[in-house]
A and B are shown apart, each in its own frame.
Chain A
């Protein structure tokens, strides 16, 4: 029989990996969505994005 302390440690490590990978993927989906939305907005309303660029130049 496995030692309880060791067994609990591996169980938490397993679930931590599962949660971290899943959360990272959901986060990547969200970030990519936000970036694409911003790109689309910039392409559809170029004037709005041109002005700050001209000012900074």
Chain B
């Protein structure tokens, strides 16, 4: 296995620097929101994690589609990498959202449309990784996973649009949401700058971890090949 390419080392450094920069902007630059004050600061990282989580699930669907077209197992490695990382980021979004919800809504969890669709989305992809374990043949496993991911990706736009389509208490940041939303706030220009910086930061972190996870998948494939040659 080749050592880390220079571009990946640059991404490692950029991820750390951007992450520290994002923390600095959230705590030192972004103003305090009047009603929720400090706890509102969770929303910058919460939104960014949800964003990269959904992005990764869509990337997995694209990789699955390409696998079905050209049957190259490298696309299976890319697909699994995207799913795994997205599960982690989406889990962070769900957990941080629950902690924000406790003082804002008075409960950690409620079965309203956004939270329900987000939980379903997370479980759909956890099930994908679990079901893959039951298939030994790599080609069958990859084909199953590609089809599953393509069908599962339908839940991504449903989750994203749920706060715009259904009556929900989840606030909408950009655009108009449900009248019953609780915890909504108007963003000042400084808040917007911080939000976009955090979104950019987590996009860089996503790309970095995605690349590392793909390399891990390639190494695992190499080990499996060597075992078969033994």
In the complex, A2→B95 CA distance in Å?
A: 20
With A18-B92, A29-B209, A44-B226 as given contacts, are A8 and B38 in contact (CB-CB < 8 Å)? yes
User: When A40-B219, A43-B227 are in contact, do A10 and B99 touch as well, CB less than 8 Å?
Assistant: yes
Interface residues on A, range: 20 to 34
CB of B230 within 8 A of CB of A21, answer no
Please give, as numbers and ranges, the residues of chain A lying within 8 Å of B11 by CB-CB distance. Answer: none
Closest 6 A/B residue pairs (Cβ): A14-B42, A7-B38, A43-B226, A14-B99, A11-B38, A7-B39
Residues of B within 8 A of A (CB): 1, 34-39, 41-42, 45-46, 49, 85, 88, 91-92, 95-96, 99-100, 102-104, 209, 212-213, 215-216, 219-220, 222-223, 226-227, 230
15 A-B pairs whose Cβ atoms sit less than 8 Å apart in the complex: A2-B35, A2-B36, A4-B38, A8-B38, A11-B39, A13-B99, A15-B45, A21-B88, A22-B88, A25-B85, A39-B223, A40-B219, A40-B222, A40-B226, A43-B227
